A and B are shown apart, each in its own frame.
Chain A
């Protein structure tokens, strides 16, 4: 029967994609990881966004703390305060993290990170080792904090009566205005100003025409595309600031570990003190495999695999000279 379309999935193919882990432990591979290993791996791969202690950086998710805040004005929903199943942590870290380098962690690393997140939430002690064997023994604090959608019972009957059409209220007063908060984005005025600035820049003769001419515009454009994977952590261009990673204006040709105000890893700072410079070749080697080329770097990025991407990236970065 049927249409006779498609082909049978091979066991290897199902195994490669069917990696979801369920609350009863279905899907967990064999393996284990301890809290201290987890802390190291977390510092390397996760802390840039989630903070050294899983407390969250900027607007990135906070993973620890927040216990007993779910009834507060501003509840803090973390693995410890909110998540009902440990399987969700393991599954999400395994399939979707680190951000920008998903599915690069080993099973043992995922166990270790999960153990560290449990530890940072005071759910386990510092000597804890999480494995496929004791996975179901961990009790999540908010496991009982959920009910299945009850709108059909609690809301729909209330909201299904014949609505009032006339004399529905005695008086109406404005109780709150959005303009008081003033959090609405501007209507495109910034873009217009920027366009004007760019037009002006295009009209004025470039002061450093030699530099500009040396750039390959097509390669720069490609590099901008490649740079999308870096934007979560790095800013470049007008007004670029240090964020999770340092701002990158003028990085090509600059000494390593020397952007003002950025807190570098020990490895990066030492390399700079020893006279290392971000030449084009050095940058390419680093970006191809950051952890291999600079052991101890905090940058949690898997690396650019293609030479074309590396060339485009360096060309793109060169288009932002130091201010």
Chain B
């Protein structure tokens, strides 16, 4: 065999200098990774001011999504709102309506939690059939971050919930400060459970596109409810039925009736590699099949992988114990014999819910739901290792 010159010859980087410290006071990924970026699908929306893009999940590993490549969804563009100009109001059925500054918020006891945020429309283009070639595009409206923030319960109790009386039929209405003034109604039970008013993600300040300086975190529930640039929380005796909870984010069934208040994101998984953007380049032999699983109902307890389109399944290895309502990384460490595969993954959560097939979902919902498609995805891998988004019988 020929000796590898990368080993036998002294390379520039082994002889000269690298970059000095302070070369990049806040660094970006090395330039060789410049293809690992958010992408949008131009035909989806009229304009990028009110649009969505996709996390490059195919190229990431582990579970934490770096903020810089975590998908964005704006209804009227990402706004610049500085901490000094930030105000949060709590009003409605509270003992004392309050206004907080950003500095006030930093004085409340805070918590850290990792949660996934998935847009209700993730995989929505796949209802009628296989459309987009890439895990980024079929499943990339999701990110997973460690949030630092204040339990919403703490802020509500600061304003006092005595005026609300019986809390079992009360709601909170949350609203953003941007021009879209997106607003969503959340039942009080959830508001007092695990909702966070967050100002840091993965240790750093929220990025502008994720709601700097303060956003709402609504664990396990659809991303549209995670209000960005959170400016107002109102305690109410009923829902507002705002545009984003009637005209949008309702699920039309085949009989013309639509489901509303479909907040929870059911268990779902996706093989991120191999996948259409991540072909097998190494030929037969050792192969790592990997992907992500998550459930809005709690922890992932098991992920199964099939190589033959669902005829037989084997149980994958979870990288570590699953956290509630957070992404879980799974691996199937296997051998590839170079033959075609129909790769699928199937998530199971702590409630015993098993991720369904597309056929199962279509039988109940039809093809026009748009939202909450958590069906099993199939990648066809050919003998060259190229993968394609397909549907199977």
Q: Residues of A at under 8 Å CB distance from B?
A: 2-3, 5-9, 13-14, 17-18, 20-24, 49, 58-60, 70-71, 73, 75, 77, 79, 82-85, 87-88, 91-92, 95-96, 99-100, 102-103, 145-151, 154-156, 158-161, 163-169, 171-179, 181, 183-185, 187-188, 228-229, 231-232
Contacts and interface: CB of A to CB of B under 8 A. Distances in A.
B4 interface: no
A159 B360 contact: yes
Contacts of B132: 178, 183-184
B35 A165 contact: no
B388 A91 contact: no
12 contacts: A5-B100, A22-B240, A77-B252, A91-B242, A99-B50, A151-B259, A163-B346, A163-B354, A172-B308, A174-B342, A184-B134, A185-B137
Interface stretch (B179-187, B201-209, B323-331): B179-187
A5 B260 contact: no
Nearest to B155: A6
B91 A160 contact: no
Interface in B47-66: 47-50
B358 to A, nearest CB: 10
Given A168-B311, A178-B133, A146 B260 contact: yes
Interface centre among B75, B108, B242 (most CB of A within 10 A): B242
A155 B260 CA distance: 15
Given A146-B257, A156-B353, A159-B353, A179 B91 contact: no
A221 B275 CA distance: 39
Contacts of B175: 17, 20
Nearest to B51: A59
Interface string B292-330: 000000000000100011111110000000000000000
B310 A5 contact: no
A100 B79 CA distance: 12
Given A174-B391, A178-B132, A187-B35, A70 B46 contact: no
Contacts of A95: 181, 183
A98 to B, nearest CB: 10
Interface string B354-376: 11100010001001100000000
B312 A167 contact: yes
B243 to A, nearest CB: 4
Interface string B177-203: 001110100000000000000000000
Contacts of A229: 77
A92 B158 contact: no
A18 B234 contact: yes
B99 interface: yes
Contacts of B259: 146-151
Given A3-B107, A171-B393, 14 more contacts: A6-B100, A8-B96, A8-B97, A13-B89, A91-B242, A100-B179, A146-B257, A159-B360, A166-B312, A172-B310, A172-B393, A177-B130, A184-B131, A188-B39
Given A6-B99, A161-B354, A172-B392, A83 B247 contact: yes
A17 B304 contact: no
Interface string B251-274: 010111111111110100000000
Contact of A6 (B104, B130, B157): B104
Interface string B124-139: 0000011111100100
Nearest to A176: B391
Contacts of B101: 6
Nearest to B234: A18
Nearest to B54: A185
B288 interface: no
Contacts of B133: 178-179, 184
Contacts of A166: 312-313
Contacts of A159: 353-356, 360
A102 B41 contact: no
Contacts of A179: 133, 388-389
B388 A102 contact: no
Contacts of A20: 173, 175, 183, 234, 240, 242
Given A5-B104, A9-B99, A163 B241 contact: no
A17 B89 contact: yes
B231 interface: yes
A158 B354 CA distance: 9
A185 B39 contact: yes
Interface centre among B92, B277, B392 (most CB of A within 10 A): B392
Contacts of B89: 9, 13-14, 17
Nearest to B34: A188
A154 B96 CA distance: 42
B364 A155 contact: yes
Contact of B393 (A24, A103, A175): A175
A250 to B, nearest CB: 23
Contacts of A75: 252, 256, 368
A208 to B, nearest CB: 31
B49 A232 contact: yes
B256 A160 contact: no
B393 A85 contact: no
B171 to A, nearest CB: 11
Nearest to A4: B158
4 pairs of A and B residues whose beta carbons are closest in the complex: A172-B309, A59-B46, A178-B389, A70-B256
Nearest to B99: A9
A149 B262 contact: yes
Nearest to B94: A9
Contacts of A150: 259
A49 B392 contact: no
B76 A96 contact: yes
A123 B238 CA distance: 27
B13 interface: no
B252 A49 contact: no
Given A102-B181, A149-B261, A163-B313, A17 B231 contact: yes
A309 B157 CA distance: 43
A96 B243 contact: yes
